[in-house]
Chain A
């Protein structure tokens, strides 16, 4: 079965660092782009960025450039989303998703990871 499994929810304090993960299985992980999306409480999805695990080519939304780091370790079929210093405004659900092989969209999604940042 093709799937993306994300790490669990996290509760952090402002200023702390965090890395959440997205592990792919059932397909050639290296050859599909993986995107990250944010959904703030009561809001729609925002595209954060995308990475090609085969060579770690990464593109960021201007809104998130410098705010987060997207990376991947192809040896363990895992993509990451990382913060060096969390803010309360980072509280949101975060999704990873696989870009389609022959179309521009996302055909497989992770289950989401809720990040709560509160003092």
Chain B
């Protein structure tokens, strides 16, 4: 299993939108509707923000949205806020109770 590929960093100004791609293969992202996204402030527990490609857990702002096309899933943060500045990573189910994570992306709010 190879890690899912994410850009090392993305940035945007407050109020803008940023999109983080997460590229896998036909064995993981492309084969399952089981992509999840996590917000991770270093030193803290990661927080689930998207599951099943595009569903938000209760309490997660609708500024966060997810999508998938082929082997690439994406997380979009709309109306970027200063508090969104941190690390984000994706995760895909890969069959037989196995998972693969993305390489993580740091979002910077300019």
Contacts and interface: CB of A to CB of B under 8 A. Distances in A.
B69 interface: no
A44 B51 contact: no
Interface string B45-69: 1111001100101000000000000
Given A104-B32, A107-B57, A62 B97 contact: no
A16 B76 CA distance: 44
A61 interface: yes
B101 A37 contact: yes
User: How large, as a class, is the contact surface on chain A?
Assistant: 20 to 34
A45 B89 contact: yes
Contacts of B107: none
A53 to B, nearest CB: 14
A107 B48 contact: yes
Contacts of B101: 37, 44-47
A63 B3 contact: no
6 interchain residue pairs of minimum CB distance: A105-B36, A104-B34, A104-B93, A109-B45, A44-B104, A45-B101
15 contacts: A44-B102, A45-B46, A45-B101, A59-B97, A95-B45, A95-B46, A100-B51, A103-B36, A103-B51, A103-B52, A105-B51, A106-B46, A106-B48, A106-B91, A112-B45
Given A44-B3, A44-B102, A47-B1, 15 more contacts: A44-B103, A44-B104, A47-B91, A47-B100, A62-B1, A95-B45, A103-B36, A103-B51, A105-B36, A105-B51, A106-B46, A106-B48, A107-B57, A109-B48, A111-B44
